[in-house]
Amino acid sequence: MATEVLMPALSPTMEEGTLAKWLVREGDTVSSGDILAEIETDKATMEFEAVDEGIVGKILISEGTEGVKVNTPIAILVEEGEDAADAEVDTAQSQQPVPKEKRQNSEDQSASGMAHPAPASPGAARDLSPDWPADAEMKTMTVREALRDAMAEEMRSDENVFIMGEEVAEYQGAYKITQGLLDEFGARRVIDTPITEHGFAGLGVGAAFGGLRPIVEFMTFNFAMQAMDQIVNSAAKTLYMSGGQMGCPIVFRGPNGAAARVGAQHSQDYAAWYSQIPGLKVAMPYSAADAKGLLKSAIRDPNPVIFLENEILYGRSFDVPQVDDLTVPFGKARIWREGSDVTLVSFGIGMTYALEAAEALAKDGIEAEVIDLRTLRPMDTATVIESVKKTNRCVTVEEGFPQGSVGNYISSVLMQEAFDWLDAPVINCAGKDVPMPYAANLEKLALVTAKEVIEAAHAVTYR
């Protein structure tokens, strides 16, 4: 039985090539791995090896021929005693080109595929239920205490939850978020790491693949840049790449954004970066109650969660409901203040500027509705859209850089989903487009301010 040898594709993009040189002649015996020919692609000259054993019965394309299409028969291999001229070609064994309809299958159907909503897309059903009972007893506590309590509660209820990071154990946390955890849970579950972000982020991902529920603390998210590959390529994408076989239940948490006077390398807000990645969930709480409820949800989530805290908020106090097992769901914004004149959308520390601006605007007779997104992926754009349908104006507030910001995304969603309701362009208030300066006066200028939010609100309300 003869076998056709076809012009091979030697790179992902090759469609045709030059058959530069034959290294065998008709009548030669070849075995698997022998070099048959040299073929020039658009990138290089490649050696082409035999896959099957046999005798070169006939060379169909002579050397020097240019523009030989991939999958063109270039030679026939025969068995001993066979003649190429009358040999029957075994088409089952020969290298058949891919049927065209199979290759184009997905293109044909792509239109219907694209219509599927993205996981955090607009139009999702809004959850309007309260996060906790209205009559819940309240206790004032700091964001720091709320975060610590959330981890302690989850570690008590699930033996597979552990925390690792720099200075989380004996030092009690660089920002004291893990205070007391070593004493209660011991060194097996509260683990000081060497200063090795890329390494321990990857190790945490492996531990999550292996059935544990790691909380990985970055001393700040600035240092997580060293671990970005493990967060994005390993943690976020493996579920998809494994066809749903292998998930990564892990929380990466730590302070994010500017602290005070620590310069450009320690003062960046990564909210927009992480919120771009399918496979990640991203939370950025403002209040202590949300910090606690969202962190408990994050630890229980079967997916990788980026939990963005803020050093300046750690010491702020808020009322926290004293209920058993306080959790806050992802993808549910919180309306802090209702208003009919303009919608202010923010998250994390941006909420301090938004709320301050709303107070000032009220004195000028402008009633702002203030929405805290709380989670950026999934993002509750439905609540924003509903609000804008009422106020017809929107200002977004965040500390991150302006280009490719969360505000930019919200503006785009509003254009597509609420264009007819908008009475003014959406204004994005963001950090300035500069690395964070050290000097006190310049740092102030680089950050977003309540004053800028107030001015933006006046601009969109034309008063």
Partner 1 sequence: MATRKSTAKPNVSKDELLHFYREMLLIRRFEEKAGQLYGMGLIGGFCHLYIGQEAVVVGLEAAADEGDKRVTSYRDHGHMLASGMDPKGVMAELTGREGGYSKGKGGSMHMFSREKHFYGGHGIVAAQVPIGAGLAFADKYLGNDRVTFTYFGDGAANQGQVAETYNMAELWDLPVVFVIENNQYAMGTSVKRATKSPDFWERGAAYGIEGEAVDGMDVLAVKAAGEKAVAHCRAGKGPYILEVMTYRYRGHSMSDPAKYRTRDEVQKMREERDAIEHVRQLLLTGKHATEDELKGVDKQIKDIVNEAAEFAKESPEPDVGELWTDIYAEAIPQGEAI
Interface residue with partner 1 among 138, 246, 260, 415 (CB under 8 A) is 246
- The alpha carbon dihedral of 368, 369, 375, 376 has a sign of negative
Q: Is 266 a catalytic residue?
A: yes
Query: Does residue 110 bind partner 1 (CB under 8 A)?
Result: yes
Interface residue with partner 1 among 20, 58, 65, 206 (CB under 8 A) is 206
Q: Of 145, 153, 266, 309, which residue is the catalytic one?
A: 266
Distance, in Å, from the CA atom of 346 to the CA atom of 338, rounded to the nearest integer, reads: 14
Query: Does residue 112 bind partner 1 (CB under 8 A)?
Result: yes
Between 108 and 420, CB nearer to partner 1: 108
Whole-angstrom CA distances from 402 to 11, 85, 128, 429, 439 are 40, 71, 31, 8, 21
Query: Does residue 243 bind partner 1 (CB under 8 A)?
Result: yes
- The alpha carbon dihedral of 373, 376, 381, 384 has a sign of positive
User: Binding to partner 1 (CB under 8 A): which residues in 265-304?
Assistant: 278-279, 281, 302-303
Q: How far is the CB of 450 from partner 1 (least distance, A)?
A: 36
Query: Does residue 194 bind partner 1 (CB under 8 A)?
Result: yes
Q: How far is the CB of 114 from partner 1 (least distance, A)?
A: 8
73-78 vs 54-59, strand pairing mode: antiparallel
Q: Is 198 a catalytic residue?
A: no
Tell me the three state secondary structure of residue 98.
Answer: coil
Quote the DSSP letter at residue 336.
E
Between 189 and 334, CB nearer to partner 1: 189
Beta-bridge mates of residue 16:
69
Query: Does residue 72 bind partner 1 (CB under 8 A)?
Result: no
Interface residue with partner 1 among 1, 89, 212, 264 (CB under 8 A) is 212
User: Binding to partner 1 (CB under 8 A): which residues in 394-423?
Assistant: none
- Please give the size of the binding site for partner 1, defined by CB under 8 A: 75
Query: Does residue 210 bind partner 1 (CB under 8 A)?
Result: yes
Distance, in Å, from the CA atom of 298 to the CA atom of 328, rounded to the nearest integer, reads: 9
Q: Of 145, 154, 197, 386, which residue is the catalytic one?
A: 197
Query: Does residue 98 bind partner 1 (CB under 8 A)?
Result: yes
Q: How far is the CB of 221 from partner 1 (least distance, A)?
A: 19
Secondary structure (DSSP) of 270-322: -HHHHTT-TT-EEE---SHHHHHHHHHHHHH-SS-EEEEE-HHHHT-EEEEE-
Query: Does residue 239 bind partner 1 (CB under 8 A)?
Result: yes
Q: Which residues contact 343 (CB under 8 A, 6 or more apart)?
A: 368, 369, 371, 384, 387, 388, 390, 391, 393, 394, 395
Between 205 and 453, CB nearer to partner 1: 205
Are 400 and 349 contacting, i.e. CB atoms less than 8 angstroms apart? Answer: no
Stretches 58-66, 187-195, 321-329, 402-410: which one binds partner 1 (CB under 8 A)? 187-195
Tell me the three state secondary structure of residue 359.
Answer: helix
Interface residue with partner 1 among 44, 85, 125, 128 (CB under 8 A) is 44
Query: Does residue 240 bind partner 1 (CB under 8 A)?
Result: yes
Longest dimension (CA), the chain: 101
Interface residue with partner 1 among 61, 70, 152, 459 (CB under 8 A) is 70
3-state secondary structure string, 135-196? CCCEEEEEHHHHHHHHHHHHHHHCCCEEEEECCCCCCCCCCCCCCCHHHHHCCCCEEECCCC
Query: Does residue 100 bind partner 1 (CB under 8 A)?
Result: no
Query: Does residue 32 bind partner 1 (CB under 8 A)?
Result: yes
Q: How far is the CB of 4 from partner 1 (least distance, A)?
A: 11
Q: How far is the CB of 296 from partner 1 (least distance, A)?
A: 17
User: Binding to partner 1 (CB under 8 A): which residues in 349-388?
Assistant: none
Whole-angstrom CA distances from 41 to 4, 51, 215, 257 are 21, 20, 49, 49
Identity of residue 200: F
Distance, in Å, from the CA atom of 306 to the CA atom of 271, rounded to the nearest integer, reads: 9
Query: Does residue 184 bind partner 1 (CB under 8 A)?
Result: no
Query: Does residue 234 bind partner 1 (CB under 8 A)?
Result: yes
Interface residue with partner 1 among 81, 130, 133, 244 (CB under 8 A) is 244
Query: Does residue 205 bind partner 1 (CB under 8 A)?
Result: yes
Query: Does residue 43 bind partner 1 (CB under 8 A)?
Result: yes
Query: Does residue 29 bind partner 1 (CB under 8 A)?
Result: no
Q: Which helix (H) or strand (E) element contains residue 388?
A: helix 381-391
Give catalytic residue positions: 197, 266
